[in-house]
């Protein structure tokens, strides 16, 4: 099958494979659940079922502008499967709620150990922190060491260098040679250079270590018109669990006329990006699904430049709006939570929203919004961020009329800067100014991606909560 229908079908086949694995994992956990770790197991199940639903919706997005019997048949099948997965997700949510008292007590216990008495850690300094601070629950101490240690102190398994001084000249060759199903992190050091490669990581526990944001660059120029699918525009796809990247750039040079053009697509559970640049225009970072963590990253774009349905925390990142085409406006996020029981959402914590150099001269004539609802239950929060004067006073933008305005969850908590004023913000039922630390804590590293659960095994101070 050729053309756009063929691309859509190929999309769906790949996504069905991911969903099948996630459903198998969920079933395996549910039939062998251990009472001493119900919380972690249920969070895993909710995460995998949420990802499965996301895959099914992504499949149908590919047929949205097509016609014919193939589309009708695919819709029927996907809707049937989606309904069953949604029921399973509701069941998992019910289990989590039935154990909410136990979960709350345990969380409060961990907070008491770490806090100054009000449930929030008093250790705020970025400097002098131990290696475990500000990283999520599922990262082992060794993984956190890999992300934070100096390059000379990181054990490298293989080196890539365009000039032939490494074992491989291309990243693809190094990935092909990497072990399958590795239980340990496999580190690939990518020397400085511009790598024109289209890559998909399908092996778990891979770490890419660059020489610096501006030095190690993976680039390409696939746009929607050429690729036929947003996910296939991505120059780099991380599609296996445990992926990590540090000190490098992911770029899509399709430009403002290229339409949707992802530089990076991530559907890797327990993935982390540290000191990376992600550069594009529309749909720059497709944070598709599962648990993701971004720290000290620079993310550039114009329209919906962070989109998807991951449970993702962006911590101390720069969110940089670029100059769009004439008549266009900028939107930073388009979060895609489509079921009320999905444990997904975007949390921008201690980030900076600012204009790129090309936008600065005209920023007063270009509207820039914090986000818009891609799906019915879209969920995004900005907490303790600096919002520069490019942010429109309304803050947020509709997707299509009144769609999702009652069911979305958009929040702001203790932001600062000239764009942080709330007096002229939208008055949608789903928008709120978060006034309590308790509500905001749901979207910290601890709250959204379970940062608290690794503390007993490390015994170190941890600041995964709010800045106080």
- DSSP conformational letter for 260: B
Tokens encoding 113: 């150990």
Among residues 304, 388, 392, 400, the one annotated as catalytic is 304
283 is catalytic: yes
Contact 421, 443 (CB under 8 A): no
Q: Which of 196, 200, 199, 195 has its CA nearest to residue 215?
A: 195
Alpha-carbon distance of 363 to 336, in angstroms, equals 27
Alpha-carbon distance of 380 to 421, in angstroms, equals 18
Polymer length of the chain: 468
Alpha-carbon distance of 48 to 18, in angstroms, equals 10
Tokens encoding 219: 């680039």
Tokens encoding 1: 């099958």
Cα 163 off chain centre by? 33
Contact 464, 445 (CB under 8 A): yes
Beta partners for residue 274, in sequence order = 246, 295
Contact 277, 242 (CB under 8 A): no
358 is catalytic: no
352: burial class by Cβ within 10 Å (0-12, 13-18, 19+)?
Answer: middle
Alpha-carbon distance of 249 to 199, in angstroms, equals 14
The SS3 of residue 313 is strand
Q: Which of 398, 405, 301 has its CA nearest to residue 353?
A: 301
Using the structure block, give the residue that is written with the tokens 């499965």: 52
Among residues 283, 298, 388, 389, the one annotated as catalytic is 283
Tokens encoding 250: 């992911």
Max CA distance (Å), the chain: 63
Contact 428, 401 (CB under 8 A): no
The two beta strands, 368-371 and 330-335, are parallel
**Residues tagged active-site:** 283, 304
């Amino acid at each position: 099958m050729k053309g756009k229908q063929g691309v859509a079908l190929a999309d769906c086949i790949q996504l069905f494979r991911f969903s099948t694995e996630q459903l198998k994992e969920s079933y395996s956990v549910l039939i062998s659940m251990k009472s001493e770790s119900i919380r972690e197991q249920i969070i895993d199940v909710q995460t995998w079922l949420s990802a499965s639903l996301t895959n099914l919706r992504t499949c149908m997005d590919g047929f949205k502008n097509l016609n014919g019997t193939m589309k009708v048949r695919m819709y029927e099948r996907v809707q049937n499967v989606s309904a069953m997965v949604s029921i399973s997700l509701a069941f998992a949510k019910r289990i989590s709620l039935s154990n909410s008292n136990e979960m709350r007590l345990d969380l409060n216990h961990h907070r008491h150990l770490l806090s100054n008495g009000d449930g929030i850690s008093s250790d705020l300094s970025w400097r002098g922190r131990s290696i475990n601070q500000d990283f999520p629950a599922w990262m082992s101490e060794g993984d956190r060491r890999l992300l934070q240690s100096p390059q000379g102190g990181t054990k490298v398994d293989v080196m890539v260098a365009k000039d032939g001084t490494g074992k491989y000249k291309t990243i693809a060759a190094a990935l092909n040679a990497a072990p399958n199903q590795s239980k340990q992190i496999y580190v690939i050091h990518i020397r400085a250079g511009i790598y024109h490669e289209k890559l998909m990581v399908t092996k778990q526990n891979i770490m890419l270590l660059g020489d610096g944001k501006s030095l190690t660059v993976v680039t390409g120029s696939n746009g929607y018109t050429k690729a036929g699918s947003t996910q296939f525009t991505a120059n780099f796809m991380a599609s296996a669990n445990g992926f990590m990247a540090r000190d490098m750039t992911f770029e899509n040079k399709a430009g403002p006329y290229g339409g949707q053009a992802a530089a990076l697509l991530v559907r890797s559970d327990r993935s982390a990006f540290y000191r990376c640049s992600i550069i594009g225009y529309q749909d720059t970072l497709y944070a598709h699904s599962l648990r993701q963590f971004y720290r000290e990253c620079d993310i550039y774009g114009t329209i919906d430049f962070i989109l998807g349905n991951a449970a993702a925390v962006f911590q101390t990142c720069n969110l940089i709006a670029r100059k769009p085409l004439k008549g266009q406006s900028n939107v930073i996020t388009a979060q895609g939570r489509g079921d009320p029981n999905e444990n997904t959402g975007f949390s921008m914590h201690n980030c900076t929203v600012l204009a790129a150099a090309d936008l600065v001269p005209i920023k007063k004539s270009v509207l820039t919004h914090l986000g818009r609802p891609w799906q019915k239950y879209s969920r995004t929060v900005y907490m303790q961020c600096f919002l520069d004067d490019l942010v429109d006073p309304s803050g947020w933008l509709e997707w299509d009329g009144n769609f999702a305005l009652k069911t979305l969850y958009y929040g702001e908590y203790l932001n600062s800067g000239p764009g942080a004023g709330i007096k002229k913000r939208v008055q949608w039922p789903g928008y709120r100014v978060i006034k309590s630390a308790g509500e905001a804590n749901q979207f910290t590293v601890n709250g959204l991606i379970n940062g608290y659960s690794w503390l007993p095994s490390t015994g170190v101070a941890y600041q995964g909560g709010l800045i106080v």
